[in-house]
Chain A
Amino acid sequence: EAGVVQSPRYKIIEKKQPVAFWCNPISGHNTLYWYLQNLGQGPELLIRYENEEAVDDSQLPKDRFSAERLKGVDSTLKIQPAELGDSAVYLCASSSPGLAGGLKDTQYFGPGTRLTVL
């Protein structure tokens, strides 16, 4: 079974430029999460989707960050414009509703996208 897929793995941009990250969750997982991981820290939730609905976006800086999951499968996280402080790893995770096997709510992570803003 394929895991969570993210692309690109690395991205280097200049400040004020836009950037987008893509995530494809594990098949059958209807919950998708985007996390921000700063250096030396644990992941922090940015947004959580149940199917195509964003059910928790309270930690998403909405002035510059946006996300979508139009068909309830893959998702895109965008930053526009990027700032120096946005340099971090952006992790995507997905979890199962527990109906088709798999421990309910257990999150499986992708490899992440490492963003460097110059």
Chain B
Amino acid sequence: GEDVEQSLFLSVREGDSSVINCTYTDSSSTYLYWYKQEPGAGLQLLTYIFSNMDMKQDQRLTVLLNKKDKHLSLRIADTQTGDSAIYFCAEFYYGGSQGNLIFGKGTKLSVKP
């Protein structure tokens, strides 16, 4: 079945850049997403990228997509303590006649002051 893999933990110092990586299996994915989940909260949509794009930048966030390697990354510039959270990569793919969102297990980002 479809699978999304992420490393489980990342620790950085405040002010550094964070890079969270993700690999996915379905080459026909149309969109790929990054969601953020803070403790006790639901998932907040951070950004997305169309599968026909290589890069998308949104303020401090940069998403890179390598479709050949099925690799997605999220770079957070000037990481702040408020960025500490779990980040989920998700691919949207069509299985049969329906679209589904498949999530990774999440990467826990810890930002040290």
Contact = CB atoms under 8 A, between A and B. Distances in A.
B105 A45 contact: no
B44 interface: yes
A91 B41 CA distance: 10
A40 B105 contact: yes
A106 B42 contact: no
A42 B48 contact: no
Interface of B: 4, 30-31, 33, 35, 40-45, 48, 88, 90, 92, 98-101, 103-106
Interface in A69-118: 91, 93, 103, 105-112, 114
A106 B45 CA distance: 9
B9 to A, nearest CB: 11
Nearest to A59: B100
15 contacts: A4-B42, A6-B42, A42-B88, A42-B103, A42-B105, A43-B103, A45-B101, A56-B98, A56-B100, A91-B42, A105-B31, A106-B31, A107-B101, A109-B43, A112-B41
Rank and list the top 9 A-B pairs by shortest CB-CB distance, nearest first.
A42-B103, A109-B43, A109-B42, A111-B42, A112-B42, A110-B42, A42-B105, A43-B103, A42-B88
B100 A42 contact: no
Contacts of A112: 41-42
B105 A91 contact: no
A55 interface: yes
A57 to B, nearest CB: 11
A29 interface: no
Contacts of B41: 111-112
A106 B32 CA distance: 10
A105 B33 contact: no
Contacts of A107: 45, 101
